[in-house]
Amino acid sequence: MKRMLWGCLLLMPWLAEAADLEVANARVRMPPPVSETAAVYMDIRNADVQAHRLTGVTTDAAAMAMFHGRDMQALHDIRLVPGEHYAFAPGGAHIMLMGLKRVLHAGDRIRLSLQFDGDRQLQVQAIVRDMR
Amino acid sequence: MQAWKTGLAALLMLGCIVGAAGLYAQRLQPSIPAYLARMGGDFALQSATGTVHLHDFRGKVGLLYFGYSHCPDVCPAALGVMARAMRQMPQALADRVYALFVSIDPRRDTPAHLQRYVSFFDPRMTGVTGTPQQLAALAADWRLEYVVPKAAADSQYTVSHSNFIYLINAQGQVVALFDEKTSPDAMASLMRRWLGR
């Protein structure tokens, strides 16, 4: 019983942290079938009282994934202001997938893993949308 | 007194005719903004089916965009908007419009690859590219800024480029600039005006 309580106590901070960063509306711009790249968009909300940083992204759908600004320059670190949304959106910052491993069709889902400061991760599913 | 009235009536009629003619001419042929007067110009670039010149499209109104096929965000957005604008043209004008995608990344974008890429957006689109020297000369004429990094063709690199969709009239002149945020409605309506409809 004592061990279970300790277990709960240890788990609690993790649960709280998982809930304070929320991802919504994750989608992939369906690329032409011959394309090796694609952009992923999503909204990340930092519901915490302190700032967080998004530090990395990986996916099994592509050889490489990285954050890009509108000017296509790589962003290494994205600051998430407490109580605010950060939007990866068309014509703005986006997650760029390079070296797609398969053709993406509208309605497909790809998995991404977002890494945040403090060794935290969030698993996200993004839906492929035909945005032509 | 009578002559005065007749004179006034004639003057009013003349005013109406001049005004109507002016409006009609404006509808037929909108004016080119001064800052676009020296932008653009003819070229010879390679498509999957041979050499393409701008003058091949004389008599048609077109949209032209510079980009590269490994571009994940703005290029597909721009080509998507161009394709939607083309699809919004009335059936009677469908063969009087064209769209060109000029790749500034010939190291990776072969004409054959480009054609497969643009067909995804609209089968009427043509993908073209040229040598780095041809593209540099073209960029100067079309006021395009771009940077292709010195990297191997099989490496993952990005190309920065200015982001205009050029509207080209039936004489091959640049007459308006759009971007991927322009509504297809606005593009299609200006294309119709430049076709005199």
Q: pLDDT tens digits, residue range A63-77?
A: 999 999 877 788 999
DSSP sequence for A2-23: HHHHHHHHHHHHHHHHHHHEEE
At residue A128's C-alpha, the angle toward residues A124 and A130, to 5°, is: 150
A57 touches chain B (CB under 8 A): no
**Strands A62-68 and A94-100, bridge-based pairing:** antiparallel
Distance of CA B106 to the CA centre of its chain: 21
Q: pLDDT tens for residues A86-122?
A: 999 999 999 999 999 999 999 999 999 999 999 999 9
Are A32 and B116 inside 8 Å of each other by CB? yes
A27 touches chain B (CB under 8 A): no
Q: Tell me the C-alpha distance between B61 and B96, whole Å.
A: 6
ipTM of the complex: 0.80
What is the average pLDDT across B162-187? 96
Which residues does A36 contact at the CB level (< 8 Å), separation at least 6? Answer: A98, A99, A100, B70
A90 touches chain B (CB under 8 A): yes
Q: pLDDT tens for residues A30-80?
A: 999 999 999 999 999 999 999 999 999 999 999 999 999 877 788 999 999
How confident is residue B15, by pLDDT bands cut at 50, 70 and 90? low
- Given A32, A73, A91, which is nearest B73 (Cβ)? A91
Q: For residue B84, give both structure tokens.
A: 């939607």
Indicate the fold that domain A2-129 takes in CATH. Immunoglobulin-like (2.60.40)
Size of interface A-B (CB pairs under 8 A): 71
3-state secondary structure of A99: strand
3-state secondary structure of A43: strand
> Left (φ > 0), alpha (ψ -120 to 50) or beta: where does B156 sit?
beta
Residue type, B89: M
Bridge partners for B127 per DSSP:
B101
How confident is residue B24, by pLDDT bands cut at 50, 70 and 90? low
Contacts of A131 in chain B (CB under 8 A): 76-77, 80
Bridge partners for B10 per DSSP:
none
Q: Which residue has the higher pLDDT, B61 or B162?
A: B61
Count Cβ atoms below 10 Å from residue B59 Cβ, excluding itself: 9
CB B102 within 8 A of CB A119: no
A75 touches chain B (CB under 8 A): no
- Given A29, A33, A63, which is nearest B72 (Cβ)? A29
